[in-house]
Amino acid sequence: MLKRLLGEFLGTFGLVFCGTGAIVINQESNGVITHLGIAITFGLIVMAMILSFGHISGAHINPAVSIALCVSKRFKWKNLAPYIFAQLAGALLASYILHYLFPANELLGATIPNGSDVQSYVLEFILTFLLMIVILTSTQKKDHSLLGPALAIGGTVGLEALFAGPICGASMNPARSLSPAIIGGHYQSLWIYILGPVFGAIAGSFVFAILNGNYMVKKESTT
């Protein structure tokens, strides 16, 4: 279990450090990375973390995904709290290091709605809903290869960040939003980035079950 928790810790650390780090460095460098570069960074780091830690912990690297997998009976409830703790710890460490490196940057890549709260909540719900279906679809094959899921899931994250990021931030991950908010002290509209992804992921797991005849995988999903 310790190895699995370490995998979740490192995977979420990598996601937040590189993803929100791209946002911070883009601001510090007057837009050199660009929005396209930020979206690509998020997609690529998700791919890399799945390939690195998928065989160890399943590479959930997202509390919303872990919760949805528990609800859909693909992950054991007794492992949920330790997984979320590891994910949050990794995310917080990443944001803390970014704060240390760039102390003048106030937001640290925090997700803040660029519009109404309802607009961003609906976007976060739908984005995570679609992401969860991709996660479950790409991991139900029995060939045990991580390349396919890594490409599908990372590609979806990058795609959704590309088109929805300018409005809602395209978090799809409570840990990714909580850590810069806590370290930077910006809590406005944080509920959007907790409830939207959690409910979206749960809804996605239910729809996947309906579409696949209540298909349940006995092996814990690699996500």
Predicted pLDDT of residue 213: 78
Predicted pLDDT of residue 143: 66
What tokens appear for 171 in the block?
């978090």
Residue 99 phi, psi (nearest 5): -65, -40
40-75 pLDDT tens trace: 999 999 999 999 999 999 999 999 999 999 999 999
In which residue ranges of the chain is pLDDT below 70? 143, 214-223
Predicted pLDDT of residue 163: 96
Q: Which helix H or strand E contains 125, and what residues bound it?
A: helix 117-138
Q: How far is CA 9 from CA 12, 88, 135, 157, in A?
A: 5, 8, 20, 19
Q: How far is CA 103 from CA 24, 74, 98, 186, 205, in A?
A: 11, 41, 8, 15, 40
Long-range CB contacts for residues 101-105, cutoff 8 Å, separation at least 24: 102/24, 102/25, 102/28, 105/24, 105/27, 105/28
99-112 pLDDT tens trace: 999 999 999 999 99
Instruction: Tell me the three state secondary structure of residue 146.
Output: coil
Please tell me the pTM assigned to this model.
0.92
* Percent of the chain with pLDDT strictly greater than 90: 88
Domain boundaries 2-211, CATH class? mainly alpha
> CA angle at residue 174 from 36 to 144, to 5 degrees?
75
Extents of the domains making up the chain:
2-211
